[in-house]
Amino acid sequence: MSEPPRPTDSRPAKPPRPCPICRKMSLAPYHPFCSKRCADVDLSRWFAGVYAAPAAEQDDDETETPPRALDEGDR
Ligand SMILES: [Zn+2]
């Protein structure tokens, strides 16, 4: 058996990523954003998404299935 060479560790050091908000170059202190402002924008978007999401946790009783009693053998 001969294993083919796998290029696993050949990824370069973190490439600089543009700010996801305004596409400018990100700065280390605000990584991955370019500024605190963009970080705040993203954060508020995230929170908005969280609070805008419908409360799906109210269906909790339905996901919790009660353990079934084994009433076999009673026939
Ligand atoms: Zn930005």
Q: In angstroms, what is the span from residue 42 Cα to ligand 1's centroid?
A: 9
Is the pLDDT at 17 greater than 90? The verdict is no
Distance in Å, CA 51 to ligand 1 centroid: 24
Topology of the domain covering 17-50: Erythroid Transcription Factor GATA-1; Chain A (3.30.50)
What's the 3-state SS for the chain?
CCCCCCCCCCCCCCCCCECCCCCCECCHHHCCCCCHHHHHHHHHHHHHHHHHCCCHHHHHHHHCCCCCCCCCCCC
- The reported pLDDT for the residue numbered 2 is 73
Centroid of ligand 1 to alpha carbon of 72 (angstroms)? 64
pTM of the model: 0.47
State how far the Cα of 68 lies from the Cα of 75, in Å rounded to an integer: 17
How does pLDDT run across 24-40, given as a tens digit for each residue? Answer: 999 999 999 999 999 99
Which among 39, 13, 41 has a CA at the least distance from the CA of 26?
Answer: 39
Residue extents of the structural domains in the chain: 17-50
Q: What per-residue confidence (pLDDT) applies to 70?
A: 74
